[in-house]
Amino acid sequence: DAKTTQPNSMESNEEEPVHLPCNHSTISGTDYIHWYRQLPSQGPEYVIHGLTSNVNNRMASLAIAEDRKSSTLILHRATLRDAAVYYCILRRGDYKLSFGAGTTVTVRA
Amino acid sequence: EAQVTQNPRYLITVTGKKLTVTCSQNMNHEYMSWYRQDPGLGLRQIYYSMNVEVTDKGDVPEGYKVSRKEKRNFPLILESPSPNQTSLYFCASSLDRGPYNEQFFGPGTRLTVL
């Protein structure tokens, strides 16, 4: 399975943008890049996914490098409710999600 | 409301006493799976099901059983629980196994085996 590398933690101030990097240098052409987050005491929650082009939804934006070896999840205006562990995951059309350690995001009021 | 539900949410039991954790989804999803989450080990898949009567092992299936008799339900069975199965368990579902589909997770079941 292709692996992803994320920083262990990041801090942000409330209402400021947060840029979460993810390296996936062994990504294959058919791998989709997914982001999930897990709030304290909750199950993981889907955030966004993409294949080649940048993607936007109501929660976040996903910027994918041209060579697809890295991507960045962008939370445009962090709120206290965005404090969570964020996971960057590659999916190929198999049956599972392989979660790494993720990035713990702390938002300061 | 589209959701995945799990019951019970918390369970304390003793070694060897059979238990079942139920999982149900109301989205007519074909694909369902079970994960366990342990500190330092992240989320690991136990079993998955691609449709009714079709189940297969994930990364850590030992000590667990599953069944998929109906599309909406995917119970996790521990025939003889042991303390190393103390963990936080999540059920998830998605429309199908396509890599572009999001998975919906339940709220989790915290199991303690004494």
B82's tokens: 């042991």
B59's tokens: 């990364």
Q: Check residue A96 and give its pLDDT.
A: 67
Q: Check residue B99 and give its pLDDT.
A: 84
Tell me whether A68 touches chain B (CB under 8 Å). no
Q: How does pLDDT run across A33-74, given as a tens digit for each residue?
A: 999 999 988 999 999 999 999 999 999 999 999 999 999 999
Among chain A residues, CA nearest to B96: A95
Q: Check residue B100 and give its pLDDT.
A: 86
A81's tokens: 């409710």
SS3 content of chain A, % helix, strand, coil (to 5): 5, 45, 50
Q: How does pLDDT run across B10-64, given as a tens digit for each residue?
A: 999 999 999 999 999 999 999 999 999 998 888 899 999 999 999 999 989 999 9
* Closest approach of B64 to chain A, Cα-based (Å): 17
Name which of B42, B90, B97 is nearest A43 (Cβ-Cβ): B90
